[in-house]
Amino acid sequence: MAKKRVMIVGGGLAGLAAAMKLAELGIDVDMMSLTPVKRSHSVCAQGGINACNDQTRQLGDSEWKHLDDTVYGGDFLQHQPPVKEMTDWAPKIIDLMDRLGVTFNRTTEGFIDRRRFGGTLYKRTAFAGATTGQQLLYSLDEQVRRWESEGKVKKYEFWDFLGPVLDENGNCRGCIGQDLVSMEIRAFPADAVVLGTGGCGLIYGRSTMSMVCTGSAASRAFQAGAKYGNGECIQVHPTAIPGADKLRLMSESARGEGGRVWVPRAPQDTRDPKSIPEAERYYFLEERYPEYGNLVPRDIATREIFDICVNEGLSVEQGRQCVYLDLTHIDAQELTRKLGGILAIYEKFQGVDPRFTPMKIFPAVHYSMGGLWADYERTAEGGLQLASPVNQSTNIPNLYAIGECDYQYHGANRLGANSLLSCIFSGLIVAPGIETLFESQKGAAADLDASLFSREVKRHQAEHDALLKRPAGHENPYLIHQELGEVMTKSATVVRRNDQLDAAYATVMELHERAKNCSLSDTGNWTNQNVVFTKALLDMFPLAKAIVKGALQRDECRGAHYKPAFQMPSLKCEDHAGRRREAEQWCDRFDENNKKWLKSTIATWNGNEPDITYEDVDTSLITPRPRLYGLVGAEVIEEVWNERQAKRQAASGDQGNGAKTPVVAGAAS
């Protein structure tokens, strides 16, 4: 019998973590990536990686609080057991990465330094300058290279994942890949296929994502029958640098280190920002959210910046929307030490030194919380069964999803510095599960009848050839991509309205039809980027449809999904009794809304459109509670809410230990 192998698609943090751990377990790994793995999109993560630590612990922090912050930040749309396991592992993951040589910033005494990030009150975030993602990725890349030199890992770089190979029982037995240089299409038999292919930001045209983040691999799995969860939950990062080719991230750490967001009180004040006196500056985040100030969670910061520019007309520039992100009050040397990397990016691309001139920033599409549906096996304590082959598995047997391309960890909104954690965690945890899976599997994929694979190769080859033979003079894929990006950005980002989403869905459907009619400007069969892009474009549509349809149907506000028409209102009464009454109603409405909408959107592909169903969320560990950032009357609502919770808890005779009243019982699996 041939030896069993795993194919990992995508060599970012998640894929590399999985490869390294699998190799350690003695399992042979193939790794396919669109780009040399060292150039994966994880390098773009700047700010840091969250974990409860010795210092925060003594200030009252715990893994449980990290879990709480994460699910609260995510508006409770994620199953809690995987998150609990992740936050429990977080300190150990920092230790591991430290051992692997990540150049974390240090305190004077030599401990790993921490900074505060959005959505928490604790300094939980370990960081390596302003290139934490790069540093984490490199240390994993190095470990995988070590295994590569020992022959345990074989890399296929500049290869495109064209789709999984499913046998007659619907089990995944490998995948089809295409060499981006020679254009060769071949099959890779594998006993487990792990997708760690990242987000799908390119569906939005310009975003903070890298050029490989088309979502095509996830889409190909989706079209092959994998479920896609919470597609509509797309994080828009509050602070990005506008650019002609992409929107470049300005890390949240700029605010974590004391950066202040403001606009001149006078619209489009043409004075040099540094000459505008304090009194004439509007520090709107600090004024509206006194507790969190500039470090409110991302969705809120984004909405406020959007609001200031679009609704209040206070954009700094006339023709372009942006606000100031100001670091100039901080010592330049300290800025260089802590934020050198990201400040250099701003300076390189804008030609202005942010140490001395306030930066101009605006929100940009940044992260897909949603992704391929993935399962888990829960323990009685509410964590994960560690070696379970169910963890991270999609609904297609033997096909796994990890990292940004799964939907597991971030609910409706991701906390800053949690993505690196979830990527590494999901990569590490998938490995022992696959080891268990292999023990139960009979036979190896490589020993299967070759016709299963050759049939799939033939199918993909035929599709490829047909694309090349398209008559000239039809649609231009690049222009269609531009149109898709425009419609998606307009309708499915910061503020969502059903009329716009409706129209957008129709436009996306139409664009999809037009895209099927694209002609290629390059019909050759050597390093043809034109055909590769066109294929990726075609595969953007199923996900785009899942995003828009999911957003259209979800009539509520949850995390990054913000629909003003369905917003929970502020309290209007002035007197306390009136407020109490309103707060009672408010809480009733909140409970009702949760009953209806505290559910994951699950899309399945029917060949032309996504079908949407809903799945209950395991909130058995922390009871969903309202997010009250900036709401008028928040304190009264909180008072009522807490009274109700106390009553419920008393009624259910809960023993404490954190496990609160379940609102939706039972795990998804």
Tell which positions 98-127 bind another protein, by CB under 8 A: 98-101, 103-108, 110-112
- 387 near another protein, rule: CB under 8 A: no
Tokens read off for 380: 């009685």
Give the Cα separation of 440 and 401 in Å (integer). Answer: 20
Q: How far is the CB of 236 from another protein (least distance, A)?
A: 18
Number of residues that bind another protein (CB under 8 A): 78
Six-digit token string for 659: 């496990």
Candidate list 124, 206, 281, 298, residue with the active-site label: 298
| Binding to another protein in span 538-567, by CB under 8 A | none
Binding to another protein (CB under 8 A): which residues in 587-646? none
**Is 424 or 547 the residue whose CB approaches another protein more closely?**
424
Q: Is 128 in the site for another protein (CB under 8 A)?
A: yes
Q: To the nearest whole angstrom, how small is the minimum distance from the Cβ of residue 282 to another protein?
A: 24
Nearest Cα neighbor of 47 from 122, 106, 134, 130 is 130
Closest CA to 539 of 512, 519, 517: 512
Interaction of residue 527 with another protein, rule CB under 8 A? yes
359-368 and 323-326: which strand pairing?
antiparallel
Note whether 149 binds another protein by CB under 8 A.
Answer: yes
Q: Least separation, in Å, of the C-beta of 325 and another protein?
A: 17
Binding track over 397-436 against another protein, x by CB under 8 A: -------------------------------x--------
Among 267, 458, 478, 517, binds another protein (CB under 8 A): 478
Nearest to 394 by CA among 175, 71, 617, 171: 171
Using DSSP, state whether 522 is helix, strand or coil.
coil
Q: Closest separation between CB of residue 44 and another protein, Å?
A: 5
Q: Is 233 or 520 the residue whose CB approaches another protein more closely?
A: 520
Q: Active site includes 627?
A: no
Using CB under 8 A, which residues numbered 223 to 282 contact another protein?
A: 242-246, 248-249
Amino acid at 138: Y
Encoding tokens for residue 646? 């106390």
Neighbours of 608 (CB within 10 A): 11
Q: Which residues contact 549 (CB under 8 A, 6 or more apart)?
A: 231, 505, 603, 609, 610, 612
Residues within window 152-191 making contact with another protein, judged by CB under 8 A: 157, 181
Q: How far apart are CA 313 and CA 321, in angstroms?
A: 9
Q: Are 130 and 340 in contact (CB under 8 A)?
A: yes
Rounded to a whole number of angstroms, the minimum distance from the CB of residue 477 to another protein is 9
Contact letters for another protein, residues 49-78 (x by CB under 8 A): ------------------------------
Q: Which of 336, 368, 339, 188 is nearest to 256 (CA)?
A: 339
Count Cβ atoms within 10 A of the Cβ of residue 82 and give its class: 0-12 exposed, 13-18 middle, 19 or more buried.
buried
476 binds another protein (CB under 8 A): yes
| Residues 380, 185: Cα–Cα separation, whole Å | 46
CB nearer to another protein: give 277 or 473.
Answer: 473
Q: Which CB atom, from 151 or from 653, has the smaller least distance to another protein? A: 151
**Please, what is the minimum distance in Å from the beta carbon of residue 647 to another protein?**
41
